[in-house]
Chains A and B, each alone.
Chain A
Amino acid sequence: MNVTVNGEPREIGDGATVASVVEMLDVAPGARGVAVAVDGEVVSRGRWAQTELSEGSMLEVVAAIGGG
């Protein structure tokens, strides 16, 4: 199925979860300062593995950077 990750179209397997997309981005499982929203709703880290995505899901995967 097709989803959008940080503005880029991605094809992922059926039943893929937030955790599998995060892993696809080479984020270490315990990486700090990373958060995810799916369709504008924040998915807490504890729910990444059980949150399945659906066709057309929009994911934003963010990380800490320097900023004022």
Chain B
Amino acid sequence: MSEHSLRIADRELSSRLILGTGGFANHELLAHACRAAEAELCTVALRRLDPAARGSILDVLDEVGVSVLPNTAGCYTARDAVTTAQLAREAFETDWIKLEVIGDDRTLLPDAVELVAAAEELVDDGFTVLPYTTDDPVLARRLEDVGCAAVMPLGSPIGSGMGICNPYNLSIIIERAGVPVILDAGVGTASDAALAMELGCDAVLCASAISRAHDPAAMAHAVRLGVQAGRLAHGAGRIPRRRYAQASTPQEGVPAFDAQGVSQ
């Protein structure tokens, strides 16, 4: 495996940016953004069939050459999420599922109790489960304990563009996780994705920041570079923060221009 690739369950991915496909004005903008993001995985959702809908998003994603990661967006109970995951397995012929179980329609924050219950049931049913979770390190560990293949903590609420509100919690999750950590939700622009990767996330999922940007393809490109820059910086090792300055130019050999500088 290349040191640059990401391994989730039995799969190796060379891109560390997962693109969410929600919120694009049309399929053409989605295709452009997908190419600019150089994503290998794109999330998709299931909704009641609309007989008037023209063209399937799957054809668009196929043409671009990306794989789908179905989600359970819109589910409020473990039971609904499990049924939706089973529908997704049927519809998309994959046992990978981005598990979302929401507890509140204004914050769209995960319902921890229902989330763990659904994750456990889906793992038992043979799914590769990637749960959208809060930035709570204990909940992340619980999800890992029941067999999730990755954890996907939020940086801030879905679509808020608030970035990473609690980098300390996210760092604790990263330090302690034995599975890949993918930042999900909250990215507003490229620097948020870079910060996630600098903190040590294995990948970033980005939807609204790209799909609702004025120029989605340009933002996809920017977020991709942010992910790459953050990953490189993480590997390079940042200097410690300090409260006082530390000169980068040597102090020795500074020329003196009055008598005080004469050697005795």
Contacts and interface: CB of A to CB of B under 8 A. Distances in A.
A62 B57 contact: no
The 4 closest A-B pairs by CB, nearest first: A67-B45, A68-B20, A68-B207, A66-B21
Nearest to B50: A63
Nearest to A40: B83
Given A33-B92, A35-B91, A40-B83, A64 B30 contact: no
Nearest to B93: A32
Contacts of B20: 67-68
Given A35-B87, A35-B88, A64 B57 contact: yes
A9 to B, nearest CB: 15
A29 to B, nearest CB: 14
A42 B49 CA distance: 15
B43 A68 contact: yes
B170 to A, nearest CB: 19
A67 B24 CA distance: 9
13 contacts: A27-B49, A32-B56, A33-B58, A61-B48, A63-B50, A63-B56, A64-B56, A67-B22, A67-B44, A68-B22, A68-B158, A68-B205, A68-B207
Given A64-B46, A64-B56, A67-B20, A34 B91 contact: yes
Interface of B: 20-24, 30, 43-51, 53, 56-59, 68, 71, 73, 83, 86-88, 90-92, 158-159, 185, 205, 207-208, 211
A31, A35, A40: residue with the most chain B Cβ atoms closer than 10 Å: A35
Contacts of A33: 44, 56-58, 91-92
B82 to A, nearest CB: 10
Contacts of B45: 64-68
B21 A68 contact: yes
Chain A interface size range = 20 to 34
Contacts of A60: 48, 87
B90 A66 contact: no
Interface of A: 6-7, 25-27, 31-37, 40, 42, 44-45, 60-68
A43 to B, nearest CB: 8
Contacts of B50: 63
B58 A68 contact: no
A6 B48 contact: yes
A16 B256 CA distance: 98
A26 B51 CA distance: 7
Contacts of A42: 83, 86-87, 90
Contacts of B46: 35, 62-65
A62 B92 contact: no
Contact of B57 (A35, A45, A66, A68): A66
A4 B211 CA distance: 35
